[in-house]
Structure 1
Amino acid sequence: MRGRFAPSPTGYMHLGNAWTAFLCWLQVRQAGGTLVLRMEDVDEQRSKKEFADALMRDLQWLGLTWDEGPDRGGSSGPYTQQERYALYDGALSALQRGGLLYPCYCSRARLQAIGAPHAGERSVYDGHCYGMTAAERAAMQKDPSWRVHVPAAAVSFCDGVYGRQEAYLPRACGDFVVRRADGLYAYQLAVSVDDGMMGITHVLRGRDLLSSTAQQIWLIEYLGYPAPQYTHVPMLIDGEGRRLSKRQQGITIESLRDGGADRDSVLSYLAYKGGLVSERARYPLEELARRCDLTALRQEDIVVDDDVMQAICAV
């Protein structure tokens, strides 16, 4: 097994990040596999080295060690996306040779106007620029983004928590962006190239990315790699149903540490709230690795206590 934890260094690690990292670590360690740490920093405006350094410090404090990564190297490096741009260029060239890559000149306003047919659904691109002639493209006065034209095909897979999934690509994702108009590589391209080239066999991540999986599987396989097995896990949410996130200032690991929490209490709290252990107690990390049952993960999101610090310290 080769698993990976792939955070974006756009803020300090919060409890929701730690939950996913913990589950990634458990999955790989229980299988005796290799855990890869990859910094997904293609968002150049928001990604910062100080956040990447802080993420690694927090993971080390939690005891969630990795086998390959930015600080350790390995056979599949580099482990920071900004150092992998030449590899993404190679993937774009492969898509170009296959006749699947085309420029898109749609404005943000037009894309927003496409809308989604039902509440909670993602907007799917309508293919407006796919049929443009060479003359029409030459007349455009703006830099395009680049989209990949998906086939009229369905992708199916069995998720480790949410079971069988099937998506008809033109309806599920449509032609999606692989390079933005500002020249930055899109997440869908970068993550697919990285998982394929790094030989990742198992991907565990938040359920918010479940809807992206079919297009990533298709792209990984088109580029000639076997698709990983996927497990999408429930999110941590507050009492009002809002997911813990950097933007919503979910409680950080740094603040928990500074407030007197210890790593075993933090991880034991997560294990109990997530249903991985049946008794609320403080377990050493080594015991958590033995006790936690990943098959017990439920599909419902996990509500954390209003006073998280107090709840963790009470474990």
Structure 2
Amino acid sequence: MSVRVRFAPSPTGFMHVGNARTALFNYLFAKHNNGTFVLRIEDTDTERHSEEAVKVIYKALKWMRLDWDEGPEKGGEYGPYRQSERKEIYEKYINILKEKGLVYECFCTKEELDAMRQEQLAKGLPPRYTGKCRHLTKEEKEKLRAEGRKPVLRFKVPTDRTVTWKDLVKGSIAINSEQLGGDFVIVRSNGMPVYNFVVVIDDALMKITHVIRGEDHISNTPKQILLYEALGFEIPKFAHLPMILGEDRSKLSKRHGSTSVAEFKEKGYLPEAFTNFLALLGWYPKDGKEILSMNELIERFDIKDVNSSPAIFNFEKLNWMNKEYIKSYDSKELTKLIIPYLEEAGYKIEKFNFNWLTKVVEATRDYLTVLSEAPKYMETFLKDEFEIEEGALNFMNEERLEVVKHFAEKVSQLEELNAETFKKAVKETGKELKAKGKNLFMPIRIALTGKMKGVELDILVSLLGKKRVLKRLHHAISEIERRMS
């Protein structure tokens, strides 16, 4: 049987990195085994559902280049791929369980269930449903209905049964049915079936061979196995991925920094770097190579190599990896990705030639950790009128200002300003004014950038050209003179 896996998120409004890692591992497993990657939207929670939240999922997967083979927007022979559109399918299997006598109506109110729970806790017992409604007579049910009570449907959990499975990540797991909290609900009082029931139906009918998900689902697995057995479905193989923790070893949350895919995208992490980094959370290639393309990840990925211990989300490593990707990214593609950040910073991009802008990106890319930093580092090239930093102004004196004026005169006499003629003009200025070291180079840098450090000046002037360089020099001279007067 060919491998079929699924990513089945609930649309909650954002895609957490844990969900993104689950999607990625499913995708890598499918592609490594020439299988099928299915996307299914679990949108039965009508109170929290919104179409905007569904779009967030699509955008995140597309940004990460995780293209699903079947699912919404794609179709497939096992659809529909949204649970809200599969209610009739679920009804059929609810009736099968009713016919087999494996479910029953439970009329207990929230207050009664809370009281049951508190009594058990007071006795030092783990909370579980006692089966109070398991043996209600027809008359008792009618009486409760007459009171206006709407029942849930509970599945009868067999007593003293140990449910076992060989987890592809965690190894052999055995959970006794006494630990499952009693007979569990499969249909809510509003008629909406719950997660543990619908996920079994969907996975079985969509021929899912491997269920790869977070380890927080381990407690759901025995309940689902019991339902697979009750309905006569083939049980898939399970793989429960380790938790993702912050560097303080607590569950990754907002206080550690960004946690949603959209936030990483907005900050300017490259999708290739983000995906590469996520792949190394709980899995590591045998050859130790860390910078891996999607094809290399697919080729190397083996679910058996996934570590069962928690994975630590190291922002420093992500930043290093993103920096490495930025350095090697195609210049023109990188420029296209950077332009929105420049526009957001207020630059009128249409003023600049795209090829010129690409050269500016090439000159500054090594400074970038994330793309959102681009306006800060590219400002030197884009803005001719700038404020001179306080420390730079304090550095200037009459002699150093004379260096700038003399250099400006040299530039004005040049036919063409490029890296070579710039160096010559600086050298001549130094020789004629007997200025050297920082007394020569620093005043020119300050006059051209307003800062005491930054990009190589020969690269800057060759990209600015004579006209813009002179404009900056004259602007700086008047600004420094005004300050010194």
TM norm structure 2: 0.60
What is residue 154 of structure 1 aligned with on the other side?
162
Query: 2: CA distance between counterparts of 1:21 and 1:244?
Result: 17
What is residue 295 of structure 1 aligned with on the other side?
304
What is residue 143 of structure 2 aligned with on the other side?
139
Range with greater deviation from structure 2 (193-202 or 248-257)? 248-257
What is residue 91 of structure 1 aligned with on the other side?
93
Q: Does the C-alpha gap of structure 1 residues 171 and 289 become closer, same or farther in structure 2, counting only changes over 3 Å?
A: same
Range with greater deviation from structure 2 (14-23 or 265-274)? 265-274
Query: 1: CA distance between counterparts of 2:257 and 2:107?
Result: 35
Query: 2: CA distance between counterparts of 1:117 and 1:297?
Result: 37
CA contact (8 A) 2:13 2:53 kept: yes
1:89-137: CA deviation from partner (whole Å, max 9, x where unpaired):
111101110112211122223334426769xx97432211112222222
Q: Does the C-alpha gap of structure 1 residues 249 and 7 become closer, same or farther in structure 2, counting only changes over 3 Å?
A: farther
CA contact (8 A) 1:264 1:282 kept: no
CA contact (8 A) 2:152 2:189 kept: yes
Equivalent residues in 2 for 1:114-193 (5 A)?
114=117, 123-140=127-144, 141=147, 142-152=149-159, 153-193=161-201
TM norm structure 1: 0.90
- What's the offset of the Cα at 1:271? 2.5
1:142-163: CA deviation from partner (whole Å, max 9, x where unpaired):
1111101122333221001111
Q: Does the C-alpha gap of structure 1 residues 281 and 209 become closer, same or farther in structure 2, counting only changes over 3 Å?
A: same
- What's the offset of the Cα at 1:297? 1.6
Residue 139 of structure 1: SS of its match in structure 2?
Answer: helix
- What's the offset of the Cα at 1:241? 4.2
Residue 155 of structure 1: SS of its match in structure 2?
Answer: strand
- What's the offset of the Cα at 1:314? 4.2
Whether 1:221 and 2:236 are equivalent positions in the alignment is: no
Query: 2: CA distance between counterparts of 1:61 and 1:122?
Result: 44
1:184-232: CA deviation from partner (whole Å, max 9, x where unpaired):
2111111011011111111000000011111111212321210100000
- What's the offset of the Cα at 1:170? 4.1
Structure 2 counterpart of 1:285, one-letter code: M
- What's the offset of the Cα at 1:288? 1.4
Query: 1: CA distance between counterparts of 2:231 and 2:141?
Result: 27
Match for 2:295 among 282, 286, 290? 286
- What's the offset of the Cα at 1:175? 0.9
Structure 2: gaps (5+ residues): 325-485
CA contact (8 A) 1:173 1:215 kept: no
Query: 2: CA distance between counterparts of 1:48 and 1:65?
Result: 22
What is residue 49 of structure 2 aligned with on the other side?
47
CA contact (8 A) 2:282 2:309 kept: no
1:48-69: CA deviation from partner (whole Å, max 9, x where unpaired):
2111122112111111111110
1:236-257: CA deviation from partner (whole Å, max 9, x where unpaired):
12234443479x9962111111
Query: 2: CA distance between counterparts of 1:255 and 1:308?
Result: 17
CA contact (8 A) 2:244 2:281 kept: no
What is residue 319 of structure 2 aligned with on the other side?
310
What is residue 63 of structure 2 aligned with on the other side?
61
Structure 1: gaps (5+ residues): none
- What's the offset of the Cα at 1:82? 0.2
Query: 2: CA distance between counterparts of 1:204 and 1:266?
Result: 20
Query: 1: CA distance between counterparts of 2:63 and 2:174?
Result: 39
- What's the offset of the Cα at 1:274? 2.2
Structure 2 counterpart of 1:171, one-letter code: Q
CA contact (8 A) 1:14 1:245 kept: no
- What's the offset of the Cα at 1:311? 5.4
Query: 2: CA distance between counterparts of 1:181 and 1:219?
Result: 20
Q: Which structure shows the higher helix fraction?
A: 2
Q: Which structure shows the higher strand fraction?
A: 1
Query: 1: CA distance between counterparts of 2:226 and 2:273?
Result: 40
Q: Does the C-alpha gap of structure 1 residues 240 and 109 become closer, same or farther in structure 2, counting only changes over 3 Å?
A: farther
Structure 2 counterpart of 1:18, one-letter code: A
Give 4+ residue runs of structure 1 displaced > 6 Å after superposition. none
Q: Does the C-alpha gap of structure 1 residues 250 and 258 become closer, same or farther in structure 2, counting only changes over 3 Å?
A: closer
- What's the offset of the Cα at 1:280? 6.8
Q: Does the C-alpha gap of structure 1 residues 312 and 252 become closer, same or farther in structure 2, counting only changes over 3 Å?
A: farther
Structure 2 counterpart of 1:272, one-letter code: L
What is residue 197 of structure 1 aligned with on the other side?
205
Structure 2 counterpart of 1:85, one-letter code: K
